[in-house]
Structure 1
Amino acid sequence: MPKYDYLLLHTQREFVKLECEAIKKVNGNWESIPSRLEVVIPIDPPPPNIDPYIFNNPWFYGYCRNANTPKNTAKQSVFLFCTFSPVKKALLVDTVFVVNKKFAWLGIEEGYQPSQSFRNEYSYKTTDALFQDFISPRVYKKQHTAAHTIYAAQHYSNHQIPVKRSDDFFSFIPLTDEGGDYNLIDILPTIQKHYESDLLRKIERLEIQNKLFKVDFVFMEIMRYIFKKSTLLVTATETTGMPKVDKSFSQEYKERHYGKKE
């Protein structure tokens, strides 16, 4: 099965401060942080659903544009979750999601549940955070019933940063840490430089707003740029479920990244 590399545009994120596992750039080298670090990260709170769901090990992706993903998507395919800021003309990547496993979403006859293999592999109680946060919007509220696959993420396991497409990639949230101020990475400059000079026009005209945008030919340039600009890669978060969002705190970070609405 082929590897696919996609850019996935979605709505603005909220921001929360959480204890996370991360690797940090020190003197140009990536090093594991021995203890959890309190970091401000972007999240996708409901309504309508949380995608990708990063409050579990592994992370999951199963809703946004999922119906458009090829059913033969292979392990090590990558989805770059991004948000466009029309005010700042920036394309901000908030999650690099690398596929490890796949599980089918079932249809109406089975109540839109995950496949039995998913239920066998992961804790599956209706009282669990995984069900309440990630599964219930589809099962109870019939959201994204055309989605066909739950993707489980590949996570960080060594100090090797991939340098070519055949290397093993892992999922992370890329950030710059500027004295405790955490910022997302704008990848628009490198995409336009190496591949798609009119991408900004396409985004502003909503030509790719509701689609998966294939970036195979520029994927490694994007990843090299992300690794170059980032100083912190969040590789895991708390696994106790969706945290409460402090709206005033989040708004400060949203205005910093996306600008103020006029």
Structure 2
Amino acid sequence: MSKSENSADLKIASIQMVSTPDVQENLATASRLITAAAADGARMAVLPEYFCIMGLKDTDKVSARESIGSGPIQEQLSHITKTNNIYLVAGTIPLAAKDPNKVLNTTLVFDPAGQQIARYDKIHLFGFQTATERYQESETIEAGNEPGLLKISVNGNEWVFGLSICYDLRFPELYRVLGQVDCHIIPAAFTYTTGKDHWEILLRARAIENQGYVLASAQGGKHQNQRRTWGNSMLIDPWGEVLANLPEGEGFVSGVLCKDKLNEVRSKLPALAHRKL
């Protein structure tokens, strides 16, 4: 066993990709990187938003949608987790929505036995418009309405994770609603333009104000649809220190979540206990 398996620590990995329009190609890349992270000792791996498809047009993800609990994407994810004996937070996949022309942008979590154990449908949908550009997730995505929590037990220690996705990062009230967690997990595909100015600042703010770890797994590069994503997948500790970071390209970073560190920060500056609202 690794050191993290013998203590109140948990090794976790953030996987970064530059996804393509080809679902099977992306699944093969995800499998390879998950396998590498597991071989490095990670007990949990997190994939980025849209890891399975970054289409040439926005409606491509609608064509790739699956019903919850069935479909080739979910079947392969289940197999990958069982093969690597790892918890997997599977970025986001397109699930069937009430509107047949839209999807739910959904995070599914699988346990080491390949069973789905948690789900979160992205609540906040990104959109912007300038004189030359326009992008509206709401045209192809149906918003979720329930916050997502994940609880697992590893070596007798319970770990609580908050689940959010990309644009959710800009809405601190969501993280307050989730309450005290050990780590916020944030799959993302931040644009290069917004990422270079806001990504790290927002991630560190969420870690500091909620006194928990933040692990963000991002898309990181130039895609075939000419979209450029910011990357910089990272793990941040409860004091706001960046413990690991991957600026660009595919790969993974990892680090250890430490119960002692959480307790230390919350004891010396008990801001959560001082809340009035």
Per the normalisation by structure 1, the TM-score is 0.24
Higher helix share: 2
Per the normalisation by structure 2, the TM-score is 0.23
